[in-house]
Structure 1
Amino acid sequence: MKQMLLLGLLIASIWPAIKAQQTVTGKVTDIEGKSLPGVSIMIKNTTVGSTSDNAGNFRINVTSNSDTLVFSLVGFAIKEVAVNGQSRFDVTLVENASKLNEVVVVGYGTVKKSDLTGSVVSISSEQLKAVPVTTFDQALQGRAAGVQVVQATGAPGGGTNIRIRGTTSVNASSEPLYVIDGLLINSNTSEMSIGGRGPAVSPLATINPSDIESIEILKDASATAIYGSRAANGVVLITTRKGKAGKASLNLESYYGVQEATKKLNLLNAAQYAELVNEAEQNAGRTPVYPNPQSLGKGTDWQEALFQQAPIANVQLSVTGGNEKTRYAVGGGYFSQKGIVVGSDLNRYSFRTNLETEVSKKLTVGTNISYNRMQTNGVLTGPAPVVQGVVYNALLFNPILPVYDSSRAGGYTFAHDRRDAVANPIAEAREYEAVTTTSRLLGTVFAQYEIIEGLSLRSSFGIDALSTKSNTFGPNFLKRTENSMGEASIATLEALTWLNTNTLTYNKQINANNSINALAGLEFQKFRNETTSMYAFGFPESTTGWHNISAGENPQPLSNGETEWSIASYFGRLNYSLMNKYLFTLTGRVDGSSKFAEGNKYGFFPSGAFAWRMSEEPFMKNVSFISDLKLRASYGRTGNQSIPPYQSLALISGSGIEGVFSNGNIITAVRGRQPIQYPNKLLKWETTDQANVGIDMAVFRGRLSLTAEVYHKNTKDLLLSTPLPYTTGFGSSLTNVGNITNKGVDLSLSSVNFDGVLNWTTSVNFSVNRNKVTELVSDEDVHLIAGNVLRVGQPVGSFYGYVFDGIFQNADDIAKSPILTGTNPAPGDLKYKDISGPGGAPDGIVNEFDRTIIGSAQPDFTWGLNNTLSFKNLTLSFFFQGSQGNELINQNLADLANLNGKQNVLADVALNRWTPQHPGNKYPRAYTDANDNVFSSRFIEDASYLRLKNVTLGYNLPSSALKRMGLSNVRLYVSGTNLWTVTGYSGFDPEGNAYGGTTDIVGVDYGGYPLAKTYTVGLNIGF
């Protein structure tokens, strides 16, 4: 009885809700009456929804006659239908061509996506913000087919190496051209940053990634030729946030995170190291150094002492709004990043304002201005043989020694006790100061006037002003200042680029079947920088540091320099559309650069492209599963002038030389100058010819989209440093010799897997590039440092050395094996292959004739995979990125696998070293006088990797809660970056490159700054 009473009360309580519910049914079709399965049907402003079945039928329960149903499907326009007491609806959805009507930014203008004839990849601000980064170029990694991005260093402010469709140059730059809101910015590290004693910081680090709305990457000649002499390596167009007409909007974007090293190398502890030292000494016939190794325990973990958990934080506040005539966007931000290596950090303050106003119906004026101020505190991290990097030293330092020694000046253990060149890494990182402060102003003002309908004139003037000051100080108790007795330096750089661009654009729809868009332009650009530097040695005390450089007892000569160059350009482009399905583009640009010789200063860079929108043909109308189909082909020429100025001129040394002349009894001292550069009166551009064929396809109403392209690039007249006969008095001269080809395939695929209550989208890109040097000065190899070589028939980034052939096991093995010239091996020593002699065939001796190509830094393919899932207010995205087939010189092994007992080594090497009792064929014996640094294939490792680049889980506050709080949006998210890497490479990171952005020296890991793993929590609020 009691149960019946409770049931009755329950029914009574829920009856009003049951009674209020109403079932609505219906069917969804397209305009041709075909059923549409998978349509999402949602009750507006709720999370209640349903999906149409395979026949297009649907059923949903509504709770009020005032409810509104929202119908959505990929490829169709969203449709809203009010219930109004009805119980059945037959709904027709109209195909939405908005994707094809999206506007894409191209050089000096925009174009509808459907009208593109060139190869252009767009990256949205949402994709850029998915990964917390210091510089925007880091966020491009894995996002676009044909764009290889390698983060060569994990240091705060450290840059990336970007290659768009391969390496096209050797001594000139292979980095793309960057254009921000029409301003061609200078990203040349040699011209826009101070070298010398401070850490290298990318000029792109001064640009705030939070300011960016979208990025377009121009890849083929049809898209890039409008930029002529600077477009051989592709173009990156950056559009910053703009205001929109409507109510003012205030947005706060913020995140905070913690970074840590992705990996530590497994080295010997103190007891193990002592045993190795003893064995190495004994094998050389000497007395053991450590009488009781086991008593030493684990000792000092120098990696643990050097690496730290480091915070990273970002705050960005922006206001956008406007009315029909004036639109504005104003924002400011602060970014802070501690490095995972102690003593390194970066702080950046940024401000931007974009303003546009219609003065009249014909005249529009505007401005884009940004100011960024950045300060880096850096530690020196390599390349190891050039700079005593603290990471490199931490790997080698004696684990028996402690970090601190109170008996010494400064309170630190001074240096490695068995290898004199290795400094205490903690002392160097904490006490050697290297502070670089950079301010950068990027500003453009423009006016656009409509002369007649369809014809407009736009004129703009922009500046890129950069000011950098680098201060360093090393107290006299450090190892690196041992000879100088303390050192200080102050260096400054002032750089200014101004750009004036004038374009005339005519856009005319002639009739229903014909339309044209024509562009003509005139552009002038000039760059100038000035550098000054002062050094002083001999600081008996460290109180004032660089703040009083005159306290140095041994001042060095002051130095300064000036550089300038200019370019004058004329360009034009014609786009013609016939019947909205036959698209033609012709482009041409003439550039005149002061960098080249008289008679060769001007170059012409043309291109042509054709696209056929096959899906618009009548015979395709019955192919219902194809939504869009376009075939493209282009061919054109671009150039490269990224070399220092004055290379064609005869230069005289800036500092005097002294000479003493005797004439009888009179001795005269004179001071003069000497020539330092051979003039090349024929110096001209590198030129790159590129052919591109592509297909763009969308099927199943846009649920699946594919872009596939095949390209071939040929770069000729390479700007290459060429040896000269010594009789000229010079060693080399920059000349136009050599060819490089790049050919490959770019694939991009995106899909909408589910669309409804659960949304799931996937995008994947895949790139194959084959690089080859096809011509050099002669048939002889060009040997570069760090094992790199240029050889005809091989790619740039080829490695050259001996082939490692195992370990000599016994005396018989030595007797019957070829021996490396100049060595007297014993069992347990390294063995190398005899490949060929002077006549070509093996000759029983291992010498310089047996060196060969032993690897390449060029990957077989690169790829990126991104998935985004959303359910109600939750969003989950995970992004994988990888490279396959590339190899890396692990130059660290020259020491970390050298069992001479003079530095620490990898535990795997030492614990599995060759001994008579435990012979092996991989690692040699311990021997104090070992010569294990012969460059060979034992230093080459497979650097292929698969990386979980980012995972982000976000929650958007429901609209009902937002209304109560008076907010437009609130998003809370957690994110992880570089969480997981699968690789066979034994070093810190398979992307490492000790020589930064150089084009010719690539694929070398030598004491670099490791990449960080990052965990962040973010909050975005819109008012």
Structure 2
Amino acid sequence: MRSFLLFCLFFALFWAKAAAQQQVTGKVTDPRGEPLPGVNIIIKNTSTGTVTDVNGGFTLNVSGDNAVLLFSFIGYSPAEVPVNGQSKIDVTMKEDLQNLDELVVVGYGTVKKSDLTGSVTSISSTELKAVPVATFDQALQGRAAGVQVVQSNGVPGGGTNIRIRGTTSVSASSEPLYVIDGMLINNNTSEMSAGGRGPSLNPLSTINPSDIESIEVLKDASATAIYGSRAANGVILITTRKGKAGKASINIETYYGSQQVTKTLDMLNATQFAELVNEASVNAKLAPVYADPASFGAGTNWQEELFRKASISNYQVSIAGGSEKTRYALGGGYFKQNGIVTGSDFGRYSFKLNLDSDVSKRLKVGTNVSYNRMSTNGVLTGPGNVVQGVVTNALMFNPILPVYDPSRPGGYTFQHDRRDAIANPIAEAKEYEAITTTSRVLGSVFAEYKIVEGLSFRSSFGIDALNTKSNTFGPNFLKRTENSKGEASVTTLQALTWLNTNTFNYTKQINKDNSFNVLLGLETQKFRNESVNAYAFGFPDARTGWHDIGSAENPQTTSNGELQWSMLSYFGRINYTLKNKYLFTLTGRSDGSSKFSEGRKFGFFPSAAFAWKVTEEDFMKSVSAIQDLKFRVSYGRTGNQSIQPYRSLALIGALGQGVFSTTGQEVIRGREPVSYPNRELKWETTDQLNAAIDLSILKGRLDFTIEAYNKNTIDLLLDTPIPYTSGFDNTLLNIGNVRNRGIDVAISSVNLDGKVQWNTSLNVSVNRNKITNLARKEDVNLGVGGNILREGEPIGTFYGYVFDGIYQTDEEAKNSPAIAGQTPAAGDRKYKDINGPAGTPDGIINDFDRTIIGSAQPDFTWGLNNNVTFKGITLSLFFQGSQGNQMVNQNRGDLANVNGKQNVLAEAGLGRWTPENRSNKYARALATANDNVFSSRFVEDASYVRLKNITLGYNLPGAVLKKIGLANARLYVSATNLWTLTDYSGYDPEGNAYGGTTNIVGVDFGGYPQAKTYTVGLNFGF
């Protein structure tokens, strides 16, 4: 009887629970009736949920009559539907055309897009994935107004130069601050690279682009002042993928592609070069060098030998899901890019975990951690080496000579026979090893506690740990190692940054017309690195390489170094909204940095912003043509502390040369001052005024944002000459000002939204850079590519003689001004006699005849993206360009110098001046020619229009997906750098051999060309 009663009780409880549950089915579609697979559906206030299948259908067991279903999907407005006893619920989700309720990440928080008072541009993961790239910074090019991204070379894993609203510094860094999931990233190459004798590291190459969910670019002072002393160059906020409540999803992304050089230069072949050499010798009254030029035929095409078709591949797997209380995202990937230059490649393994959990109604905890390991095999491609780089050498090397010479050690032709300094580029590329391996752990943990309603406290601790090892080896049979008889080096670097951030956040809705949000924070950060460099000369056995550096015959002194810096910061922000029309933001941050002098370590960086949502006014309610109109204005101050530590101190180092002891039997190494102290050293400070209009019309189909800004950088950190009586020739001073003024325009449109959907986005950036004050009134000659710093001119100004053609007769040459020490004749170059000391032509070509001959600053840059969708077919076309900038083609110093000592461009060699071919562009062939002065003949228009990417994709239909058991699948083909329109004669109008510097810009000198890439990809999920 007792058992029977228990059974009845259990049955009653079960029946009551079953009766309280009901099964709800339905379908989710878009406004055109097309099914939406992958829509997240959650029962409100529970962890129960599901996702729609390939046909947009779903089934869910619901308890209680008051249950509410929450529908969410990227690109669509969220929907909230009460069940009310319904067994079938069909939902049509509306496209979020305006995205005004979309949350935008800002410093230490988020804000609705409609409530932004600062200048922020958002870039989605879809845009980032449109172009196959090794690093995410490469994918930013042309995506945001006011953000100039220059791909200075095509080195696998190589970096870019990013300038947000112009260059603000000449000695400190002009790169933006990067913040990844709240962690402030150190992107200072000199602090985060092993250096030594190997290839330099792009710190951003350790970040996997596939882990990124979105990027926000903060541009004006209102948006950036919360980061204070590091925000003068703008801030790039990176948010990685996070899990969402609902059914676990597995996604796999992969592509494979082929790369090739976008362009080769037309050089003289072997016969043509031999003819040029003979003519140059005869014109110099020397005997011809080659008896039968025609016998050499075409000879060796050194570019074909150096460049190769190279593969690029990417494989990514991610798993995401969770409940309403705990969410997770886990991913891993492998990326491999072989370089188009023989001997170069880049590879990266990556792992990422994001996890957050609501421990209780008040406490939330979480962590995100990533591990990336990358390896770079570099080649010598740029200036500054003993040999000027394999690309330059391939252009200049004698085409008569073969690549290989079996009679020599190593089996390669040793060197160019017309100029001793030119090494065999194939031997250097294949045999000189320079391998850098880097491991980076980037992660943080956080806890967020809700103290009372509206008030929360959040504390996080993050680390950025980097370990780099760089190994190089050059065997003794290379030209580069001719004097050292073989060389090897091993360099290691350990760098650690830790960051602790603590914030209070209080939000209060006082009444329907007044609300505010207050953020208060305390942040501490510390960085330390330590490096060791061992290298040696003399390796008679090339088999051991760097693996046995101790076996070298001539070991060198081992060196090591370490540095550290720390910061302490206090910051706060107040957002106040009045009647949902008037938005006010006040921000302030006080930063203290160990890099600066006592008494000047702290700086305060405030900002204020106001926005007026005009469309919320009563008089705008009847204006149906305008959906959104907002005016924004902001003013604030930010700083720059991106200099090496200890620059304010008097440092002591070892004597460059030792001194003999009193007995003369030993050398004593003493100590000496190595830097002049500056007790007044402080921040660079940038003040910025920003005014903007946001406009949305035609029911959100056409959006405009127009912004004007004025940035003034004062207390410019500049290496400045000081009197030699100090014992030094220069020191770092706060002397100089730079101004950037400009306009950013962003336009997006929905052109078609029927069966064929067509969206367009355009951004245009105009910036005017000007040095308004320098430490001295005379120019600062930077010594490279004619670059100078001059008050009243922009950074990137070129200075030199004005090329005026070719002397056509000896009489003209005799009666014309000439450079001192030269006696020109017919066929030689001539230059304009601009003025003498009195400001008038004086018949002499000297320093007074040099003038400004160009600028690397563009008139404007732009990006244009079109996306077309028809059923499952998608087509995207992304154009990007720059107009009005000029480039110093430093290669022309050799490649247009027809003296017969190196190979030259076919245009110059075949078009050279002769009595029968009176060229006014290229000089005569002359073996003794020594005219290579820097002039306007080196400066070219580098404007370009580039089809950066074209992608054609196909999304498999629901019926097919259902049969093969997939939630989604997309197949696509893509081409990058497919077409470029430019008048620039070099490899690439973007190329900049000195891309890592701030003040030397627009100089092309033997850089690594960019690649044209074709890829095929497949993305699918379960």
Q: What one-letter code is carried by the residue in structure 2 that aligns with 1:235?
A: V
Q: Which residue of 2 aligns with 1:10?
A: none
Q: For 2:698 and 2:608, how far apart are their aligned partners in 1?
A: 32
Q: Which residue of 2 aligns with 1:794?
A: 793
CA shift, 1:724, in A, is: 1.1
The within-5 A match list for 1:171-190 is 171-190=171-190
* Contact 2:195–2:491 (CA under 8 A) maintained in structure 1: no
Unpaired stretches in structure 2, ≥5 consecutive residues? 1-29, 38-56, 58-72, 82-90
Q: What one-letter code is carried by the residue in structure 2 that aligns with 1:461?
A: F
Any idea what the Cα deviations from partners look like across 1:81-135, whole Å, max 9, x if unmatched? xxxxxxxxxx999996861100000000000000000000000000000000010
Q: What one-letter code is carried by the residue in structure 1 that aligns with 2:989?
A: P
Any idea what the Cα deviations from partners look like across 1:189-221, whole Å, max 9, x if unmatched? 000012232122311000000000000000000
* Contact 1:605–1:639 (CA under 8 A) maintained in structure 2: yes
Q: Which residue of 1 aligns with 2:669?
A: 671
The within-5 A match list for 1:596-611 is 596-611=596-611
State which drifts further: 170-179 or 813-822.
813-822
* Contact 2:31–2:93 (CA under 8 A) maintained in structure 1: no
CA shift, 1:911, in A, is: 0.5
CA shift, 1:821, in A, is: 1.4
Q: Which residue of 1 aligns with 2:683?
A: 685
Q: What one-letter code is carried by the residue in structure 1 that aligns with 2:116?
A: L
Q: Which residue of 2 aligns with 1:440?
A: 440
3-state SS of paired residue (1:481): coil
CA shift, 1:655, in A, is: 5.4
Q: What one-letter code is carried by the residue in structure 1 that aligns with 2:760?
A: T
3-state SS of paired residue (1:727): helix
Q: For 1:390 and 1:383, how far apart are their aligned partners in 2?
A: 10
1:241 aligns with 2:241: yes
Q: For 1:808 and 1:378, how far apart are their aligned partners in 2?
A: 44
CA shift, 1:963, in A, is: 1.9
Q: For 2:526 and 2:386, how far apart are their aligned partners in 1?
A: 34
Q: CA, structure 1 residues 701+239, in 2 after alignment: closer, same or farther (shift >3 Å)?
A: same
1:752 aligns with 2:750: yes
3-state SS of paired residue (1:190): helix
CA shift, 1:826, in A, is: 1.1
Q: What one-letter code is carried by the residue in structure 2 that aligns with 1:635?
A: Y
* Contact 2:771–2:790 (CA under 8 A) maintained in structure 1: yes
Q: What one-letter code is carried by the residue in structure 2 that aligns with 1:436?
A: T
CA shift, 1:78, in A, is: 9.3
Q: For 2:985 and 2:36, how far apart are their aligned partners in 1?
A: 53
1:219 aligns with 2:210: no
What's the C-alpha RMSD, in Å, of the aligned pairs? 2.0
Unpaired stretches in structure 1, ≥5 consecutive residues? 1-38, 47-65, 67-71, 81-90
Q: Which residue of 1 aligns with 2:733?
A: 735
Q: For 2:683 and 2:872, how far apart are their aligned partners in 1?
A: 55
Match of 1:705 among 700, 703, 706: 703
* Contact 1:954–1:974 (CA under 8 A) maintained in structure 2: yes
1:478 aligns with 2:478: yes
CA shift, 1:657, in A, is: 4.3
Q: Which residue of 2 aligns with 1:504?
A: 504
Q: Which residue of 2 aligns with 1:970?
A: 969
CA shift, 1:781, in A, is: 0.6
Q: CA, structure 1 residues 98+356, in 2 after alignment: closer, same or farther (shift >3 Å)?
A: farther
CA shift, 1:43, in A, is: 6.1
Q: Which residue of 2 aligns with 1:381?
A: 381
The within-5 A match list for 1:322-721 is 322-383=322-383, 387-654=387-654, 657-660=657-660, 670-721=668-719
1:265 aligns with 2:265: yes
Identity %: 70
Match of 1:772 among 766, 770, 773: 770
CA shift, 1:502, in A, is: 0.3
Q: Which residue of 2 aligns with 1:915?
A: 914
Q: For 1:357 and 1:901, how far apart are their aligned partners in 2?
A: 72
Q: For 1:202 and 1:502, how far apart are their aligned partners in 2?
A: 30
Q: CA, structure 1 residues 305+77, in 2 after alignment: closer, same or farther (shift >3 Å)?
A: same
* Contact 2:814–2:824 (CA under 8 A) maintained in structure 1: no
3-state SS of paired residue (1:972): strand
Q: CA, structure 1 residues 45+611, in 2 after alignment: closer, same or farther (shift >3 Å)?
A: closer
Q: Which residue of 2 aligns with 1:871?
A: 870
Any idea what the Cα deviations from partners look like across 1:500-521, whole Å, max 9, x if unmatched? 0000000111111111011000
Q: What one-letter code is carried by the residue in structure 1 that aligns with 2:732?
A: L
CA shift, 1:666, in A, is: 9.2
Q: What one-letter code is carried by the residue in structure 2 that aligns with 1:291?
A: A
Q: For 2:405 and 2:285, how far apart are their aligned partners in 1?
A: 32
Q: Which residue of 2 aligns with 1:59?
A: none
Q: What one-letter code is carried by the residue in structure 1 that aligns with 2:893?
A: A
CA shift, 1:77, in A, is: 8.9
Q: For 2:640 and 2:35, how far apart are their aligned partners in 1?
A: 55
Q: Which residue of 2 aligns with 1:277?
A: 277
3-state SS of paired residue (2:674): strand
Task: Give the paired residue count.
Answer: 950
Q: What one-letter code is carried by the residue in structure 1 that aligns with 2:923?
A: P
Q: Which residue of 1 aligns with 2:68?
A: none
The within-5 A match list for 1:194-213 is 194-213=194-213
3-state SS of paired residue (1:224): helix
Q: For 1:340 and 1:657, how far apart are their aligned partners in 2?
A: 44
Any idea what the Cα deviations from partners look like across 1:322-362, whole Å, max 9, x if unmatched? 00110000000000000000100011000000000111110
* Contact 1:45–1:959 (CA under 8 A) maintained in structure 2: no
3-state SS of paired residue (2:658): strand
The within-5 A match list for 1:151-190 is 151-190=151-190
* Contact 2:770–2:792 (CA under 8 A) maintained in structure 1: yes
Q: Which residue of 1 aligns with 2:760?
A: 762
* Contact 1:192–1:466 (CA under 8 A) maintained in structure 2: yes
Any idea what the Cα deviations from partners look like across 1:597-636, whole Å, max 9, x if unmatched? 0111000000000000001100001110100000000000
Q: CA, structure 1 residues 745+425, in 2 after alignment: closer, same or farther (shift >3 Å)?
A: same
* Contact 1:738–1:774 (CA under 8 A) maintained in structure 2: yes
Q: For 2:666 and 2:980, how far apart are their aligned partners in 1?
A: 69
CA shift, 1:375, in A, is: 0.6
Q: What one-letter code is carried by the residue in structure 2 that aligns with 1:153?
A: N
Q: Which residue of 2 aligns with 1:51?
A: none
CA shift, 1:176, in A, is: 0.1
CA shift, 1:932, in A, is: 3.0
Q: What one-letter code is carried by the residue in structure 2 that aligns with 1:42?
A: G
CA shift, 1:840, in A, is: 1.8
Q: What one-letter code is carried by the residue in structure 2 that aligns with 1:408?
A: R
Q: CA, structure 1 residues 625+103, in 2 after alignment: closer, same or farther (shift >3 Å)?
A: same
Q: CA, structure 1 residues 736+254, in 2 after alignment: closer, same or farther (shift >3 Å)?
A: same
* Contact 2:387–2:423 (CA under 8 A) maintained in structure 1: no
* Contact 1:795–1:856 (CA under 8 A) maintained in structure 2: yes
CA shift, 1:41, in A, is: 3.9
* Contact 2:76–2:93 (CA under 8 A) maintained in structure 1: no
CA shift, 1:544, in A, is: 1.0
Q: CA, structure 1 residues 669+435, in 2 after alignment: closer, same or farther (shift >3 Å)?
A: closer
Q: For 2:424 and 2:943, how far apart are their aligned partners in 1?
A: 33
Any idea what the Cα deviations from partners look like across 1:421-479, whole Å, max 9, x if unmatched? 00000000000011100000001000000000110000000000000000000000000
3-state SS of paired residue (1:480): coil
CA shift, 1:836, in A, is: 1.3
Q: Which residue of 2 aligns with 1:9?
A: none
Q: For 2:79 and 2:951, how far apart are their aligned partners in 1?
A: 28
Q: For 2:501 and 2:665, how far apart are their aligned partners in 1?
A: 61
* Contact 1:77–1:95 (CA under 8 A) maintained in structure 2: no
* Contact 1:894–1:932 (CA under 8 A) maintained in structure 2: no
Q: Which residue of 2 aligns with 1:129?
A: 129
CA shift, 1:731, in A, is: 1.1
3-state SS of paired residue (1:653): strand
Q: For 1:413 and 1:375, how far apart are their aligned partners in 2?
A: 30
Q: Which residue of 1 aligns with 2:957?
A: 958
* Contact 1:609–1:634 (CA under 8 A) maintained in structure 2: yes
Q: What one-letter code is carried by the residue in structure 2 that aligns with 1:802?
A: Y
Q: For 2:299 and 2:561, how far apart are their aligned partners in 1?
A: 49
Q: For 2:131 and 2:910, how far apart are their aligned partners in 1?
A: 40
